[in-house]
Amino acid sequence: MSRPGLRLWATLPVPITIEGLSIGAALALRAMLIGVLTVGFLATTRPRDLMISLIQNLHLSPRYAYAILSGHRMLEAMPTRWTTIRAAQAVRAPLTRRGHRAKASKASPALPSPYWSLLSAHPSE
């Protein structure tokens, strides 16, 4: 479960060693470096140019290049969509001071009161 070596804290149920911490830190730095370089590359390269380059230089099938381009555009649009979803959730059920969802009451329906009465009225004719 952990690397063999000198345990730093003997009282913990999970053994934490100096070797394990050094390997964990190296892996974390490697992942962070790859992530930063990827974000920098994608921020400075136009998606269409990247796909044309992949098709011409790597001989990637246009079918796969189009799939990658679609995925890239979807990931590009996700922050905007996430913001829209969070705003809609905040309007529907605002958070209380403690961070919990407020319960919907019958006194304040989602529709304005003139429309609410139209939905609850039964046609008598």
* 118 or 47, which is more confident: 47
Whether the predicted pLDDT of 38 surpasses 80:
yes
- What is the mean predicted confidence (pLDDT) over 30-54? 91
Mean pLDDT of 77-83: 90
Q: Which of 41, 68, 35 is nearest to 52 (CA)?
A: 68
At 114 the pLDDT is 52
Give the residue extent of every domain in the chain.
Answer: 1-44, 46-98
Q: What is the mean pLDDT of residues 48-64?
A: 93
pLDDT score for 125: 45
20 vs 17: CA distance, rounded Å? 5
Tell me the whole-structure pTM to 2 decimals: 0.49
Torsion of CA 51, 52, 55, 58, to 10 degrees: -80
**How far, in Å, are 2, 16, 19, 54 from residue 22 at the CA level?**
12, 11, 5, 37
In which residue are the tokens 């952990």 written?
Answer: 2
- Asked if 32 and 21 touch (Cβ cutoff 8 Å), the reply is no
Which pair of tokens denotes residue 106? 């019958």
Indicate the average pLDDT of the chain: 79
